[in-house]
Amino acid sequence: MHVHIGTDHAGFELKNRLVAALQNKGHEVTDHGAHAYDALDDYPPFCTDVGEAVVADAGSLGVVIGGSGNGEQIAANKVTGVRAALVWNEDTARLARQHNDANVISVGARQHSEDELESLIDLFLAEPFTGEERHQRRIDLMARYEETGGYGSDSAAAPTGA
């Protein structure tokens, strides 16, 4: 699988370790930075670069890393077509793929050990989307809102207003 990965200074050392580990597991990895440690760098460009690459590269998945993973998830989700999930345990790693067909995982380098994070990323990458109609319907609703700013009148789940 092709994996796109990016981080700021908070996950710099972890990212470098993960690139090697993922390659050793047979994944093709594209490193979107940071390429040098800079304590003053900003995470949004690295995360949006990962998101744009994932959207452009059908079938690939992305990994964004930060101190907590929160901002990184938000930044990646600004890219149309990205479904980035903040993952903090095995269940959230599996469910992000099973139910949400998430295409980017966001993790916090300061929240877990490197071994734990590698395990969560491995789970995410290995887990397939179930394809169940209810999950796909929800993904389609989010995509419609992202594209149009609304859900459309044909959806039973469409909000009725404020």
Catalytic residue among 99, 114, 116, 135: 99
99 is catalytic: yes
Instruction: Write the DSSP string, 45-94.
Output: HHHHHHHHHHHHSTT-EEEEEESSSHHHHHHHTTSTT--EEE--SHHHHH
72 is catalytic: yes
Cα 101 to Cα 38, 78, 81, 92, 107: the distances in Å are 33, 17, 11, 12, 17
Catalytic residue among 9, 27, 72, 112: 72
| CB 105, CB 61: distance < 8 Å | yes
Active site residues: 72, 99
